[in-house]
Structure 1
Amino acid sequence: MRIAYLHGGSIPSFFANGVHVMRMCDAFTEAGHEVTLHSLPGSATEDPYAYYGVRHRFPIRLVPAPDHTPDGYRARGEAIRELLTGDGAPDLIYARDPYALAATADLAPFVYEVHQLRRDLPPGAERELLGHPRLARVVVITHELARDLRGAYPDLPGLPVVVAPDAADPPETHAAAATPVLPGRPDAPRIGYVGHLYDGRGIDLILDLAGRLPAFDFHLVGGTAEDRARWEDPCPHPNVYFHGHRPPAALPGYFPLFDVVLAPHQPKVYTWGRLDEIGRWTSPMKLFEYMSHGRAIVASDLPVLREVLEDRVNSLLRPSGSPQAWVDALTELVADEALRGKLGDEARRQFLERHTWRRRADRVVAGLGLPDSAGTGGAR
């Protein structure tokens, strides 16, 4: 099947949406589809395939917007329309970009993927897409978001919604990443966090834990230079190490070095610049990467995370506002190697069964009645 993937963000970039999009295009290609990604150009000069560590060199078309306004994005959508019509209409349009999708929706059946309720679109714009006759499917990342999306459009009761959480790749399917040399004490337990340092990600909780557990070393991988400085400069704890942003392709080298990994999300989670609050709907990609590496996870006990995690089955879940409960969980896991192994093994088993990018790619297009819509092989 020929798929045109429409992305409203930039490639390459620091943002998680770029990782998601590149991994999905890689998985679609692995499944035998012909995918062309249409993206905004990024500011970085790295080779995007190497930067993200994808296996396939699917075509990427970098289509700029004249400016970052609704009119600018609509103009970009028209430019993408010209590219698609010049190529001949694809079999399927797969879009996370409502502006480009609005300009191209009549060209082919389309799947619209949303990760939050969009409050930034012109009035009626999303409703028009959701009521469009060529809408084939709406993909959301959590059941909470599915409920809220249906509630936002009660006059569209037949929305074809599929819930597909974020995902990860099995580490063994990629070239081995270099193993970094971590600072810190050689005999201290290593507690890891991988992800952005935005408000609501629980960075303040991690620093609190570091003060309460001086015998443990805490490693935070990720974050822009600005966000890193905001947390690192005032940090008084010598057992905390900020590693900053790393290319997605380099991250698999870090996970095996951690004894325990943290997902300390708060009830309210903000995106870059506090532009949006997404805590009710979040599906953290790093959570699935933790699972893929069989790490023992301590995570916040939130309804949206319980869609994937279960206490003492594939993780330990603790109240996001109770640091002492997290201290007790970390102390228990560090002291009990068998429990760490049990939780990590079950997390990896569930990941392989449910949460690989390939399984997700197969799921979101399965049964659409389009050419080769199930891919060329079984889910992986």
Structure 2
Amino acid sequence: MRIAYLHGGSIPSVWANSVHVMRMCDAFASAGHDITLYAAPGTHEADDPYAYYGVRHRFPIRTVPVPDGYSPAGYRQRAQRVRELLLEAGAPDLIYGRDPYSLVAAADVAPFVYEVHQIREDLTPPETDHRLLADPRLARLVVITHALARDLRATYPDLDPARVLIVPDCADPPRLDVESVRLPGREGVPRIGYVGHLYDGRGIDLILDVAERIPGADFHLVGGTPEDRDRWEAPCRLANVYFHGHRPPAELPGYYPLFDVVLAPYEEKVYLTGRLGETGRWTSPMKLFEYMSYGRALIASDLPVLHEVLTDRVNCLIRPPADPKAWAHAVLELIDDPGLRRSLGDEARRQVLDRYTWRHRADVVLAGLAGADPSGGTGPA
């Protein structure tokens, strides 16, 4: 099937939404589909975007700039250009995307799937999402959590439940072809890892509090823009804390196996960069699944939405997001009990490989749509 993926963000960039988009396009290509990605020009320097993200397929990427300083009017202008390019290339069999402006503009070109990760309150005009959800050519609405599906149905009571598909975020199976990195710090001490951005809602202050309580372990924080890294690293006086800054997504598989314990200390309110949106009620963090994919012993925040995937003492330990003492006790429990670390990590990896791979997700979101199965079946993840 010929699929056009419409993304309003930049490729390449340092933001998680770009990783999600590239992984989905890679999975569509792996399933045998002819996929073309339409994205904004990159905001991060990378000679080869495919190598930067570590994807296996070199699907076409068409860059379409956003005029007028990334304003809503600029996004609507860009959307019209995306529509023109789709028609010039010949209408695809299916349009897939997270960019509401381009989807509105191209809704008459082909049936479309709209993937939603939050309820948008920043769209202009405000009825943009309502228009998309009521469009008869909407083939499917993909949402990442049951919590988001419930809130969407409450916000849009006319939304047809049969069109809604709930599919969490995912991870690739562990990669064995990535060179391991060399971590700074002490030899022979436990290594506690965090991978992700450093902005508000990510629990960075909790990690530093726990690090101060456990001087016998080294804490490694991988990720963050230079500005966010400076915000936390400059005042930090802990000798057992190391900030690694942003790393290309393709390099992260070299970090995960080095950590004895990994942390996902999401706060009750999880903000996007610049506090441009709060998604803690609906979040399905990709890093959570990447931790699980590599069989790491995970400690995660006790947030209702995370219970859709996580179960305490089955595939992780769950602790209150504002209780550093409880987190320190959990870290020490895992340090002192290698059997528990192994059992939690093994079950987490098993669950990812069984139900949370990108290839599995690609097959699920397209299942039942015309031409969605070119190979005659859903292949291995």
Check whether TM > 0.5. yes
CA contact (8 A) 1:130 1:159 kept: no
- What's 1:6 paired with? 6
- What's 1:340 paired with? 341
TM-score w.r.t. length of structure 2: 0.97
The CA distance in 2 between the partners of 1:310 and 1:17, in whole Å, is 26
The answer to whether residue 305 in structure 2 is matched with residue 301 in structure 1 is no
Q: Pairwise mapping of residues 325-336 of structure 1 onto structure 2 (< 5 A)?
A: 325-336=326-337
The CA distance in 1 between the partners of 2:278 and 2:197, in whole Å, is 14
Question: Which of the residues 86, 94, 97 maps onto 1:95?
Answer: 97
- What's 1:42 paired with? 42
CA contact (8 A) 2:32 2:375 kept: no
Question: Which of the residues 106, 112, 115 maps onto 1:113?
Answer: 115
The CA distance in 2 between the partners of 1:88 and 1:128, in whole Å, is 25
The AA in structure 2 aligned to 1:227 is D
- 1:15–1:375 CA distance, 2 compared to 1 (3 A): farther
CA contact (8 A) 2:366 2:372 kept: no
- What's 1:222 paired with? 223
The CA distance in 2 between the partners of 1:374 and 1:78, in whole Å, is 34
Deviations 1:109-147 (A, max 9, x none): 100001000001122111110000100000011110010
The answer to whether residue 253 in structure 2 is matched with residue 263 in structure 1 is no
The CA distance in 1 between the partners of 2:153 and 2:174, in whole Å, is 36
**Percent identity over paired residues:** 68
TM-score w.r.t. length of structure 1: 0.97
The CA distance in 1 between the partners of 2:239 and 2:84, in whole Å, is 56
The CA distance in 2 between the partners of 1:142 and 1:232, in whole Å, is 33
The CA distance in 2 between the partners of 1:304 and 1:220, in whole Å, is 24
CA contact (8 A) 1:221 1:245 kept: yes
SS of 1:341's partner is helix
The AA in structure 2 aligned to 1:115 is H
Q: Pairwise mapping of residues 1-380 of structure 1 onto structure 2 (< 5 A)?
A: 1-46=1-46, 47-67=48-68, 68-121=70-123, 122-158=125-161, 160-172=163-175, 176-372=177-373, 377-380=378-381
Q: Which runs of 5+ in 1 are unaligned?
A: none
SS of 1:344's partner is helix
- 1:110–1:379 CA distance, 2 compared to 1 (3 A): farther
CA contact (8 A) 2:116 2:142 kept: yes
The CA distance in 2 between the partners of 1:76 and 1:295, in whole Å, is 42
Question: Would you say how many aligned residue pairs link Structure 1 and Structure 2?
Answer: 378
Q: Which runs of 5+ in 2 are unaligned?
A: none
CA contact (8 A) 1:23 1:357 kept: yes
SS of 2:244's partner is strand
The CA distance in 2 between the partners of 1:350 and 1:369, in whole Å, is 29
- 1:257–1:375 CA distance, 2 compared to 1 (3 A): farther
The AA in structure 2 aligned to 1:23 is R
**Cα deviation, residue 322, structure 1:** 1.2
- 1:274–1:215 CA distance, 2 compared to 1 (3 A): same
The CA distance in 2 between the partners of 1:340 and 1:289, in whole Å, is 16
The AA in structure 2 aligned to 1:289 is E
**Cα deviation, residue 375, structure 1:** 6.7
SS of 1:249's partner is helix
**Cα deviation, residue 157, structure 1:** 4.2
The CA distance in 2 between the partners of 1:297 and 1:38, in whole Å, is 35
